[in-house]
Structure 1
Amino acid sequence: MGRNIAISVVGNLLPAMAGFASAPVLAQGLGLDGRGEYAAATAPLILAGSALAFGLPEAITYFTAKTGSGRRTLKRALLILTAVGVAGTSLAWAVFPGFFSEASSAESLARLAILALTPMLLVSALRGYASGCQSWIFVAWEKTATASLRLVVFGLLASQQQLTPFAAVTTFGLTACVGFLAYVPLLIVKRRRPTTDNGRESDGTSYGALGSYSIRIWLGALGGILLARIDQTLMIPLSTNSQLALYAVAVTISEATLIFNSAVRDVVFASQSGKQSPGLLERAARISTLMTAALCAGTALLCVFFISPLFGKEFGASIPVVMVLLVGTIIGNPGSVAGAGLSAAGKPQLRSYSLLMACTINIVAVLILVPGLGAMGAAIATLIGNVVAGFLNLWFQKLVVGARIRDYIAPRREDFHYAVRLVRRAARRP
C-alpha cells in the first residue's frame, strides 16, 4: 500500500506542479478579465465532467478490486457514459443562453469547451478501471501527460503572444481528451476473468449492481464536486469576472496541497474495497493530515512572497483567499480519508449524506456571502462546507465500525516516521 501511495503521490504531484506553473502563465497572458472569462467558460465543463459521471468510475474501481477483473463492467460503464455525455452536451447548449449575460463572450467559449465532456467521462471510466487493478502507474501517466501537455501549449502560445481566452479554452478541451492514450497498454494486457461456481466465465457486474452502487456513491460524489466547483459556477451571475479570477487563482493554488490527500484517499478506497483494515485506514488518515498540513504551511509562506511577482500585482488580493482555503483543506482532510473508507466498506450512501449536507450548506453560504464579499465569501463558504463534510464522515465511521474519532485525527510518534519513509519512497519514483 505504501508503494501504491508513493506512485500516486508522484502522479498527483507532477500534474499539480504543471497546473501551478500554468496559473501565472494564464494570469499574465490573459489579464484579470481574460482569466475570469476563461474560468467562466471552463467551469461548466469541469462541473459537468465530474457530476455526470454518476459515480461509475468509483463503481468500476470497487467491483474490479473485489472481483479481480472488471473488463465487462468497464464496457458497460463506457456505453452508459457515452450516452450521458452526448445528452449532457446537448442540455448544456440549451441552457447556456439563459445562464450567461447577453454581453458576455464566455457563452460561445463555454459551448466550445463543453464539447470535451464525453471524452472526459470516458477517460474517467478508464481511470477507475486502472485504480481497481491497482495499476497506479497508468493513472500517474495519464494525469501527468494531460497537465504537462496543457502547460507546454499555454507556454508556447504565451511566448508568441497568441494566448487568448479562445486559445486557452480550446487547449483545455483538447488536452482533456488525450488521457485515454495512457491506458492503451493496460487494455491490451489480457487479465484473468472470474468464473462462476459451475466453472463458466462470469459476465461481470450486472447493470443492476453497477447502477445501485454507482448511484449511492454518486450522490456523495456529486455533493463533493458541487462543494468544490459550484462556487465558481455560481459566481458567474453573483459577482464580477475580476472576483472570479481572484478566486480561481486561489483555488488553483490551494488544490496543489491536495496531492497527498488525493493519493491516500484513492489508494485506500481501492485497497479497502478488496480487504477491510480499520487500523490501516486510521493511520492513513493521520499521515495524510500531517503531510497535507505541512504542504499547506509551505504554500501559505510562498504565497505571501510570490503571488504578486508570478501572477501580477492585481492578483495580490487573492492571498487572504488562499489562506482561508488552506485552513479548510487541513480541517477536512481526516474526514476525506474516512469517507473513502465508508465507500470501500459498501456504505457509500453514508459518505453521500455527509457531502450532500455540506454541499447544501455551502450553496446557501455562497448565495449569502459572495454578493457582498466576492472571492473571500466563496472561500469562507468552502471552509464551512469542508468542516461539515469532514465531521460527518468521521461520525459515520464511529457509528459503522465503532472507531474513535481521535484515532483519525491525533497523530502518533510512529506516524511521523512512516510519513518520512513515504516521502523518501515517493522521491525515488521515476
Structure 2
Amino acid sequence: MQQLNAKSLPAKTIWSSFRLFAKSKDNSSAAVKTMFVSVMILLINMLTGVLTARYLGPTGRGEQTAMINWSQFLAFSMSFGIPSALIYNAKKNPEDAGVLYRMALLLGTIFGVIAMIIGIVVLPYWLKSFSPEVVTFAQWSMILCPIIVISQINNAAFQFRGEYKRFNWIRYLVPLLTLTMIGILIALDRMNPFTTAVAYLLPGAPLFIGMTISLLRTYKVKMRGAYQNLKRLFTYGLGSYGNDLLGNFSYYIDQIVIAGLLRPADLGLYVVAVSLSRMVNFFSSSITIVLFPKASELSKEQAVELTFKAFRISTTFTMLGGVVLMLLAPLVIPLMYGKDFNAALTVFRLLLLEVTISGGTIILAQAFMALGKPKIVSMLQGFGLLLVIPMLFLLIPKFGLLGAGIAMLSSAILRFFFIVLNIKYTLKVKLPRLLITREDIQWMKTTMNSYIRKKPMDMNG
C-alpha cells in the first residue's frame, strides 16, 4: 500500500481519523488516550501544587499534606487487593461480573470503615509535631475512607468493562474541580492549609458516589453464587494484597514517616520534590491501567512479551523525560514554587531516579498479576518494603530529606532486580531484552499511523 504524506491528507480524512481513534475501544488506543488524559491531569496537578506551595509556603504545605494524606493512605492500604481481584475474576468469569462487583462493593465498604477507625485512633499519636487543629482535621478526613475504597473498586469495574472513557473522565474531573476550588480560594483571599485541604478532599466524593449508583443500576443481578465469588475475590485479593500494599506504601510511606519525624516545613519541601519527580510517572501508570486487563486474556508467553514491550517503551520515555527535568530543575523549582523550596533540589534528583525504576517495576509485575500469580509479586516486593521502612527511620533522623531519598531509591533498585529474576526463574521463560529495540519503535509507529492513515484509507477504499 502506497505511503501517504500526512500533510497531503485532507481535513475531512484527518477528522475522520480522529473520530475513529476517539471511539476505538482496542487496547492500543485506550493506552494512548489514557496517557493523554494522564498528561492533562499532570498539568492540572502541577498548577494546583504550584499555587498551593506559593501561597502556603513550606510549613503550610506540610500541614496541608498531613491533613489530606492519611485518608488516602489508609483507604488504599485497607483495600486488601479487592480492586485487582475484581479485574482478574471479571475478565476470567464475565458472566459473574455483576455479582463480583456487588460483593467487591460490600467488602470495600467494610474495609473502608475499618480504615476510618484506625486513622481516628492513630493520628493523635503520630502527628505529634503538628498543631491540635491539624490533627483534628486529619481525624475528620477519615470519614472519606469508605468512599475512597469504593472509588478504587469502581475504577476496577470501568477497566474490566473497557469503559476507559468514563474512567478517564473521572480521573480528569477530580483534579480539575480541585484546581477550580483553589482558584476561588485565591480570589476570595481564603488560602490556608485547612481550606486547601478541603479543596483537595471534597471534589471526588460526589463523583464517586454517582459512579457507584450508576454501576449498581447496570448490575441489577440476583446474588447467585455469592459465596463462591466472595471466595474468588478473597483468594486472589489476599494474594495480590501484598503487591498493592507495597505500591501504596511506596507512594506514601516516606511522607508518613517524615510527618512523624521532622518539622511540617520539611514535609512541605519533600512533597514538592515528590510531586515534581512524579511528573514522569504518567508513562508507566497509563500503560499499567490498560496492560493488566489485556494481559489477563493472553497465554504466558504472550503476556510476558507484551509486558516487556510495554516496559521498554515506557521506561525509555520516562528516562528521557527524567533527564530533561533533572537539567531544568535548578531553574524550575525556584521559578514555580519560590526560593524557599530550593532546599528540595537534592532529594528531588534521587526521587526522580526512584520514580523511573519503580514505574518499570510496576509494569513488569503485571505479568504475574495477569497470569494469576499475585502472591509471588507480593512476596518478592515485600523485601523492598522490609528494607525501606527501617532505612527511613535510620536515615531520616541522621540526614534529613536526603536520607529519605536514599532509602526510597535503594528500595526501588532492590525490587526491580527481584522482579526481573523472578520472571526468569519462576515463570521459566527466556528473559526478553530490557532496552528498547528498533522493532518496538516500529510497533509504536505502526500503532499510531494505523489511525491516521490505514483506517481512513480502508474506509475510502
Q: Shared topology, TM-score over 0.5? A: yes
Separation of aligned partners in 1, 2:277 and 2:445: 23
Which residue is 1:197 aligned to?
none
Cα RMSD between the aligned structures? 2.6
Paired position in structure 2 for 1:413? 438
Aligned twin of 2:21 = none
Which stretch has the larger CA shift, 172-181 or 254-263? 172-181
Indicate if the aligned counterparts of 2:30 and 2:290 stay in contact, CA closer than 8 A. Answer: yes
Query: In structure 2, how many angstroms separate the alpha carbons of the residues matched to 1:411 and 1:86?
Result: 45
Where does residue 67 of structure 2 map in the other structure? 41
Does 2:419 match 1:398?
Answer: no
- Is the 8 Å Cα contact of residues 30 and 163 (structure 1) preserved in structure 2? yes
- 1:226 is aligned to 2:252: no
Report the residue type matching 2:316 in the other structure. L
Distance 1:384 1:102 in 2: 28
Distance 1:390 1:133 in 2: 30
Correspondence 1:374 to 2:400: yes
Q: 1:36 to 1:270 in 2, by over 3 A?
A: same
| Residue 78 (structure 1) aligned with residue 108 (structure 2) | no
Structure 2 CA distance for partners of 1:237 and 1:128, relative to 1, 3 Å: same
Aligned length: 422
| CA positional deviation for 1:345 | 0.5
Compute the displacement of 1:87 (Å).
2.3
Distance 1:423 1:275 in 2: 23
Correspondence for 2:52 = 26
Q: Matched residues in 2 for 1:400 and 1:412: separation?
A: 25
> Where do residues 332-343 of structure 1 align in structure 2 (5 Å cutoff)?
332-343=358-369
Aligned to 1:63: 89
Matched, 1:146 2:174: yes
1:363 matches 2:386: no
2:203 is aligned, of 175, 178, 184, to 175
Whether the 8 Å contact between 2:89 and 2:232 is mirrored in structure 1 is no
> Which of 166, 174, 190 pairs up with 2:194?
166
Shift of the alpha carbon at 1:202?
A: 6.5
The match for 1:385 among 404, 411, 419 is 411
CA apart distance, 1:426: 11
Matched, 1:213 2:241: no
Q: Distance in 2 between matches of 1:308 and 1:258?
A: 22
| TM norm structure 1 | 0.91
**8 Å Cα contact 1:57/1:125 also seen in 2:** yes
Larger gyration radius, structure 1 or structure 2: 2
Is the 2:350–2:406 Cα contact (8 Å) retained in structure 1? yes
Q: Distance in 1 between matches of 2:362 and 2:450?
A: 23
Name the CA shift for 1:184/1:218 in 2 (closer, same or farther; >3 Å). closer
Question: What SS class does the counterpart of residue 206 from structure 1 fall into?
Answer: helix
Query: Does the CA contact (< 8 Å) of 1:146 and 1:175 recur in 2?
Result: yes
1:106 shift after superposition: 2.1
Q: 1:294 maps to what in 2?
A: 320
Once residues 271 and 186 of structure 1 are traced to their aligned partners in structure 2, the CA distance between those partners, rounded to angstroms, is 24
Match of 2:334 among 308, 311, 315: 308
The letter for the 1-side match of 2:441 is F
| 1:330 Cα offset (Å) | 2.2
Q: Deviations over 1:229-252 (max 9, x none)?
A: 111111112111121111111111
For residues 421 and 31 of structure 1, the distance between their equivalents in structure 2, rounded to whole angstroms, comes to 47
- Residue 244, structure 1, aligned to residue 267, structure 2: yes
User: Are the aligned partners of 1:354 and 1:388 in contact in 2 as well (CA < 8 Å)?
Assistant: no
Letter in 2 for 1:133: R
Aligned-residue offset at 1:301: 3.1
Q: Which amino acid aligns with 1:281?
A: T
- Deviation per residue, 1:309-344 (Å, 9 max, x gap): 111101112122221111122233332211011111
Q: Tell me what 2:11 maps to.
A: none
* Letter aligned with residue 416 of structure 1: I
CA contact (8 A) 2:102 2:216 kept: no
- Separation in structure 1 between the aligned mates of residue 66 and residue 442 of structure 2, nearest angstrom: 44
- The percentage of counterpart residues that share the same residue type is 22
| Residues 168-224 of structure 1 deviation map (CA, whole Å, 9 limit, x = unaligned) | 111222123234267469637858999xxxxx9866962111101101101111112
Give, in whole Å, the separation in 1 of the partners of 2:45 and 2:53.
12
CA drift of 1:419 comes to 4.1
2:377 aligned with 1:354: no
The correspondence for 1:318, drawn from 333, 344, 358, is: 344
> Residue 5 of structure 1: CA displacement?
0.9
Which string of whole-angstrom CA distances, capped at 9 and with x for unpartnered residues, describes residues 368-397 of structure 1? 111122222111111111111111111111
Q: Residues 73, 166 of structure 1: CA spacing in aligned structure 2 closer, same or farther, 3 A cutoff?
A: same
Deviation at residue 46 of structure 1 after TM alignment: 2.2
Q: Is the 8 A contact 1:6 1:425 kept in 2?
A: no
> Is the Cα–Cα contact under 8 Å of residues 91 and 160 in structure 2 kept in the other structure?
yes
TM superposition shift of 1:57: 0.8
After TM superposition, the score normalised by the length of structure 2 is: 0.85
Equivalent-residue separation in structure 1 for 2:377 and 2:263 (angstroms):
34
Q: 1:181 to 1:111 in 2, by over 3 A?
A: closer
Please name the residue that 2:287 is paired with.
264
Distance 1:384 1:28, change over 3 A: same
